[in-house]
């Protein structure tokens, strides 16, 4: 399984700071995004998104956008603002507006006013490109980026400051505080790095100018959907869609929800009448817990989500690997295949065999229950889910000492 880093954590490594649809967006943001962001000419950027009316390139106005420097540069420069480009000249944009008017009841003039202000963000295009082949996957190296003193100490402060909301979420949803703390810490270091891109800009750029990849059409369709969700969210809240800030792939707030997930899973957990994932820790906490429950978290399965395992030399257990992000195996199936644990698994539940590769070092094997796999719906990665668990555990331990 390809490991992915949370959106803002990827940016953090790139420029010294920066999870259903949540996971879908993150599938395009591997941990090495910062290393493959390259400088592109304006002509190359716009050639892939041909406008209507027979023009080969939309006219760009204003100052030229700063470019993302090659990885070898001393410091990466991220263009958050982008450059003005007349998206209204692009035929796919006009088709999108037609659809929003006909199906969602928007006024054409309102949408044209928004798209008249949208900017093309080349750095978003560069950052979503697949990372080039690199070193073998290494769980230990990956985890060291998240289970480290700065994040653990910030987690302790976050837990102490939000103990009431965390306890209330655990009681209401059955998701332990340490799991919620782990997710918010991995995603944004507890709100420290929630994103500086205008969400409408990045989503429009990726919806209509996604780079050439084998899954380009599926990705463009996803980002068009999230662009529509952003406009719906702004209309629902009575705000300006251009005011919403987030990551380079459009994720928002402390828990990095895509706009569609805010609409589906966002919770007004502080009871102030609105959902604010950027400014309200309580709303972020309640929304994360709600997301996990809606994606399979089972409150009845108390105790660890993963169990350390050894595997027998006969390698019959290999057939149990790669079975997706679901718990499908009975304890007796694991035992028959040579998967050995120090403790007996609770009966009547299903599990999965998880492999965490460590480069040239031995692979770690774990048996995971459905709560582990619920975390993978936030970000489709074993590495991610395990880092959430380990960070939450480290924060809990540090808080108790």
For strands 352-358 and 361-368, give the pairing.
antiparallel
Q: Cα separations (Å) of 223 from 141, 227, 386? A: 31, 6, 28
The radius of gyration computed from the CA coordinates of the chain, to the nearest angstrom, equals 22
DSSP state for residue 221 in the 8-state scheme: H
φ/ψ of 233, rounded to 5, equals -65, -45
For the chain, the 3-state helix, strand and coil shares in percent, each to the nearest 5, are: 50, 10, 40
Are 116 and 363 contacting, i.e. CB atoms less than 8 angstroms apart? no
φ/ψ of 14, rounded to 5, equals -80, -40
Query: Helix (H, G, I), strand (E, B), or coil: what is residue 252?
Result: strand
The yes-or-no answer on residue 99 being catalytic is: no
> What is the Cβ-side half-sphere exposure of residue 152, based on CA atoms within 13 angstroms?
19
Of residues 187, 217, 326, 332, which has the active-site annotation? 187
Task: Quote the tokens at residue 357.
Answer: 């590769």
* Three-state SS letters, 83-108: EEECHHHCHHHHHHHHHHHHHHCCCH
* Three-state SS letters, 136-154: CCEHHHHHHCCCCHHHHHH
- Name every residue whose Cβ is closer than 8 Å to that of residue 162 and which is 6 or more positions away in sequence: 281, 282, 285
Query: Helix (H, G, I), strand (E, B), or coil: what is residue 195?
Result: coil
φ/ψ of 69, rounded to 5, equals -70, 155
Query: Helix (H, G, I), strand (E, B), or coil: what is residue 291?
Result: helix
Distance from C-alpha of 70 to C-alpha of 78, rounded to nearest angstrom: 11
- Name every residue whose Cβ is closer than 8 Å to that of residue 304 and which is 6 or more positions away in sequence: none
Question: Nearest to residue 80, comparing CAs of 141, 29, 112, 122?
Answer: 122
Catalytic residue set:
187
């Amino acid at each position: 399984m390809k490991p992915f880093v949370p959106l803002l954590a990827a940016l953090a490594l790139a420029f010294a700071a920066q999870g259903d649809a949540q996971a879908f967006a993150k599938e395009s943001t591997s941990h090495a995004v910062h290393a493959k962001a390259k400088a592109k000419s304006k002509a190359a950027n716009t050639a892939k998104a041909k406008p209507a009316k027979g023009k080969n390139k939309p006219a760009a106005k204003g100052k030229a956008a700063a470019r993302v420097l090659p990885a070898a540069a001393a410091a990466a420069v991220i263009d958050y603002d982008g450059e003005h480009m007349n998206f209204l000249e692009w035929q796919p944009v006009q088709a999108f507006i037609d659809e929003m008017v006909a199906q969602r009841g928007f006024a054409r003039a309102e949408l044209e006013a928004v798209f008249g202000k949208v900017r093309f963000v080349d750095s978003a295009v560069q950052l979503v490109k697949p990372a080039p082949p690199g070193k073998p996957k290494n769980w230990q190296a990956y985890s060291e980026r998240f289970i480290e003193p700065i994040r653990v100490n910030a987690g302790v402060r976050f837990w102490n400051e939000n103990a009431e909301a965390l306890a209330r979420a655990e009681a209401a949803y059955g998701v332990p505080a340490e799991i919620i703390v782990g997710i918010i810490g991995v995603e944004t270091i507890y709100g420290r790095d929630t994103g500086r891109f205008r969400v409408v800009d990045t989503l429009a750029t990726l919806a209509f100018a996604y780079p050439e990849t084998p899954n380009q059409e599926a990705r463009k369709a996803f980002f068009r959907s999230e662009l529509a969700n952003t406009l719906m969210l702004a209309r629902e809240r009575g705000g300006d869609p251009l005011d919403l800030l987030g990551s380079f792939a459009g994720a928002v707030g402390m828990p990095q929800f895509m706009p569609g997930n805010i609409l589906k899973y966002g919770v007004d957990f502080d009871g102030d009448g609105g959902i604010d994932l950027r400014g309200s820790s309580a709303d972020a906490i309640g929304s994360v817990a709600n997301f996990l429950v809606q994606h399979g978290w089972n409150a009845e399965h108390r105790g660890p989500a993963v169990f350390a395992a050894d595997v027998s030399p006969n390698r019959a257990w290999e057939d149990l690997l790669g079975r997706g992000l679901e718990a499908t195996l009975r304890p007796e199936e694991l035992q028959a295949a040579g998967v050995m644990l120090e403790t007996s698994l609770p009966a009547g539940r299903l599990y999965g065999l998880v492999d965490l590769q460590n480069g040239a070092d031995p692979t770690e094997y774990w048996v995971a229950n459905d709560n582990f796999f619920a975390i993978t719906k936030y970000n489709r990665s074993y590495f991610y889910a395990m880092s959430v668990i380990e960070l939450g555990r480290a924060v809990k331990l540090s808080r108790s000492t």
